[in-house]
Amino acid sequence: MRYLKNVLLLSGFTAALAILCGCKTAEGAEGPGVSSHGALHVDGAALKDEKGNTMVLRGTSSHGITWYPRYLNGGAMETLAGAGANVQRIAMYTEPHSAYIENPEQSLDYLYMGIESALSADMYAIADWHILKDGNPNEYVEEAVLFFDEISRHYGDNPAILYEICNEPNGDTSWEDIRSYADKVIPVIRANAPGAVILVGTPKYCTDFSGPIEKPLEYGNIMYTMHRYIDVSEEKACENHLIESIVESGVPVFVSEWGTSVGEQAYLQDGGPGSGAITYQENARPFIDYMKEHGISWTAWSLSNKDEAHSMLKSDCQKYSGWTEEDLTDFGILIFSAFR
């Protein structure tokens, strides 16, 4: 059978359910979280823990926290951690309505709630300054400086916090624009959290790595973010040319956002993934396998019930934690099975 729910990784999901039921993990006493691995650092192209071991973070990204804050509760983070996730990315949009620029106090409330929920579940947390419509991060650089000063001052050297300083630079934003922005923001973080890992976006929605390859930033503990959405409307496994070229270059990469998409014609024909569009989520398996083979950390988009191909929860799911297979989309099943 081609359909994920009938064929894909039932053993992996069964293992995740066993963990949720309180069964012992395969790792034994040493788990995947902060208490076992401590402060992270970047060594060459690899992310490593405080003992010098290669560290792989796997988890989910929230959707915009202003619109989907309910999935950042403590029970949700415990559910993810129980399934094997060890990181949560908290996407704090800068724009449009009700996001940080318009409503900073509420945005910060949700961000802190998400971070604290992740910490309570022994997970790492990524504070994501989620630019998108404001394609050039310099548009709100003054606000970004104040934001990262507050967050890094609050958490200081807490080993669990990573900082993603610009989600998806796009439009005509150049690598030099991003370098200029980073030179204003990174020193502020470093003043408060000298050893924190910082994630830096790249041009063209985090798909153009020519800048970091040719002229990387002159700071330690920096990784560059790659984003990817895999069209699963056709029965054809994805290829990995971009990430292969990044790995070959030796640039430290963190896939801070990835998911599946449905081709436009399939979407229009079927009315969207929530109305029965045929998708082949297993086509994304080569990407997951590649990241696993090369020890690449990732967070998948998104932990929400929004009616789109890359949501992990079904649009009619009303549960905010303790999800079972029946609550998850095909993509959600794929991601939960990939945590281990």
Check residue 5 and give its pLDDT.
Answer: 36
> Does position 243 have pLDDT exceeding 50, yes or no?
yes
> Does position 19 have pLDDT exceeding 70, yes or no?
no
Residue 27 — very low, low, confident or very high, per pLDDT cuts 50/70/90?
A: very low
- DSSP-derived letter for residue 328 is B
Signed CA dihedral, 89, 90, 94, 98: sign only = positive
> Does position 17 have pLDDT exceeding 60, yes or no?
no
> Does position 8 have pLDDT exceeding 90, yes or no?
no
Which domains does the chain carry? 4-16+35-338 (3.20.20.80)
Residue 340 — very low, low, confident or very high, per pLDDT cuts 50/70/90?
A: confident
DSSP string covering 296-325 = --EEEEEES--SSTT-SB-TT---SS---G
> Does position 7 have pLDDT exceeding 50, yes or no?
no
Q: Are 328 and 314 in contact (CB under 8 A)?
A: yes
Check residue 279 and give its pLDDT.
Answer: 85
Check residue 16 and give its pLDDT.
Answer: 44
Q: How far apart are CA 326 and CA 314, in angstroms?
A: 9
> Does position 275 have pLDDT exceeding 60, yes or no?
no
Task: Give the 3-state secondary structure of residue 177.
Answer: helix
Give the pLDDT mean for 102-109. 98
Give the pLDDT mean for 185-211. 98
Segment among 63-67, 144-148, 267-271 with least mean pLDDT: 267-271
Tokens 């030796």 sit at which residue? 250
Give the pLDDT mean for 91-105. 97
Give the pLDDT mean for 253-279. 76
| Cis peptide bond upstream of 203, omega within 30 | no
> Does position 195 have pLDDT exceeding 80, yes or no?
yes
Of the candidates 12, 121, 132, 19, which has an alpha carbon nearest to the alpha carbon of residue 77? 121
Of the candidates 233, 232, 215, which has an alpha carbon nearest to the alpha carbon of residue 224? 215
> Does position 198 have pLDDT exceeding 70, yes or no?
yes
Give the pLDDT mean for 244-268. 89
Check residue 272 and give its pLDDT.
Answer: 61
Give the pLDDT mean for 101-128. 98
Q: How far apart are CA 134 and CA 101, in angstroms?
A: 11
Tens digits of per-residue pLDDT, 118-176? 999 999 999 999 999 999 999 999 999 999 999 999 999 999 999 999 999 999 999 99
Q: And the tokens for 7?
A: 């064929």
Residues with catalytic roles: 168, 257
Q: And the tokens for 85?
A: 């996730």
Check residue 3 and give its pLDDT.
Answer: 32
Mean pLDDT estimate for the chain: 90
User: How much of the chain exceeds pLDDT 90, in percent?
Assistant: 84
Q: How far apart are CA 37 and CA 86, in angstroms?
A: 11
Residue 276 — very low, low, confident or very high, per pLDDT cuts 50/70/90?
A: low
Check residue 271 and give its pLDDT.
Answer: 60
Q: How far apart are CA 111 and CA 113, in angstroms?
A: 5
Tens digits of per-residue pLDDT, 221-237? 999 999 999 999 888 99
Segment among 56-60, 97-101, 252-256, 263-267 with least mean pLDDT: 263-267
